[in-house]
Amino acid sequence: MKFRNPPNLFVITLAFILFSLALPAMTVELTRDNASKPIVFLKGPPVPIKVKYQGKEYEICKRDPNTNKLIPKTHFTCGTGFIVGYHNQTYLVTAKHLAQKTSIAWSATISGPNDLAVTFPFTDFTGYTKDLPWVTHPLADVGVLCLADDSKYCRSGMVSRFDISVFVRTAMAPAREKALTIVGFPLALGVRQKISPLTKETKAASGLYEISKGASTITVFFLSDPGIQGYSGSPVFAFPVEMAVPGATVRVGPRQTQCYGLVSATLSDKTGGKLAQVVPSSQVYETILRAHEHKKEKKDGAQPSSPANRARRRR
């Protein structure tokens, strides 16, 4: 085919660039192979280790024998979060107890090109330079942060997101025979030059269970395996299982990947017995909706609505 007036190459290139910039962040169709893409390693700054002795608080230090200089012994807090897309907004989801510890001094590490670990300071990752406007569930251990559209992370072209449809929206625990997978960064493992979140296969050890927390009661379910430090905030998935049969490959279990909850804590006793505690995904879903409504109200300059009004809007 010949053009009477061949299009200008510069115009075509410019149009392509503008089109590429307008593309939304990639929403991942969840499979066992790519479930690690939207998983985020969250890490706090080093802080001195402190102990109490005879009613006073002391910092633990190491002394350099050559210079007699005291070097504070430090530790850091870390955990797992994941990215969710909803109505063209990007949300960071994690456990509330971890979210409440975060500040702009933290960092976030994601999966970049060729699974290279790419670390953003929290100011660049979230787009906020002062307070972080976390939205938390009033009872459940869930925190959600709407990332600013103009944050360096959101403009990096490296955003992978779970679609909100992955969450089981009914308050329920998975069947005990269903295979479940936790994806996260226990003990800060899986974050080196390349990023590789660890997966842990497990099953539900209970149905929905109500436990007391102060004056309130929270709803959770337990897993048959113990939790590990750093798994807090990790999603718990049920993946379809593919089986080869003569002439075809069939899926066993759910047709699509489902998220049943978020790892919250570990229940333990003096004998060493432990169970991982999980927040049902219906409460994660509710908190994302709360964060989305908070974002809309802030953008419109409206006063925050009451829980009753929010319930009416959802209906």
pLDDT 10s digits, 52-103: 999 999 999 999 999 999 999 988 899 999 999 999 999 999 999 999 999 9
**Cα 13 to the center of its chain, rounded Å:** 37
Least confident span in 21-30, 113-122, 209-218, 255-264:
21-30
Confidence band for 281, pLDDT divided at 50, 70 and 90 = very high
Angle formed at CA 172 by CA 287 and CA 84, multiple of 5 degrees: 35
In a domain, 197, yes or no: yes
pLDDT at 12 over 60: no
Does an H or E element contain 314, and which?
A: helix 307-314
Overall pTM surpassing 0.85 (yes/no): no
In a domain, 315, yes or no: no
Q: What are the DSSP E strand ranges found in 153-273? A: 160-163, 180-184, 198-202, 209-213, 216-222, 235-238, 241-245, 248-252, 258-268
Q: How many CA atoms lie within 13 A of 229 on its CB side?
A: 6
Q: Which domain holds residue 101?
A: 26-49+74-301
Please tell me the predicted confidence (pLDDT) of residue 254.
63
Closest C-alpha to 141, from 293, 294, 306, 286: 286
Report the percent of the chain where pLDDT is more than 90.
62
Read off the pLDDT of each residue in 228-243 and give the average, rounded to a whole number.
87
In a domain, 94, yes or no: yes
**Cα 253 to the center of its chain, rounded Å:** 25
Read off the pLDDT of each residue in 134-158 and give the average, rounded to a whole number.
95
In a domain, 66, yes or no: no
Angle formed at CA 172 by CA 169 and CA 173, multiple of 5 degrees: 125
| Cα separation, 45 vs 35, whole angstroms | 27
CATH code of 186's domain? 2.40.10.120
pLDDT at 223 over 90: yes
Indicate the burial class of 24 (C-beta count within 10 angstroms; 0-12, 13-18, 19 or more): exposed
In a domain, 67, yes or no: no
In a domain, 219, yes or no: yes
Please tell me the predicted confidence (pLDDT) of residue 247.
64
Structure tokens at 267: 């229940």
Greater model confidence, 255 or 252:
255
Indicate the burial class of 12 (C-beta count within 10 angstroms; 0-12, 13-18, 19 or more): exposed
Contacts (Cβ under 8 Å, ≥6 apart) of 21 = none
In a domain, 311, yes or no: no
pLDDT at 2 over 90: no
**Cβ(292)–Cβ(133) under 8 Å?**
no
The number of domains in the chain is 1
| Cα separation, 43 vs 230, whole angstroms | 10
In a domain, 3, yes or no: no
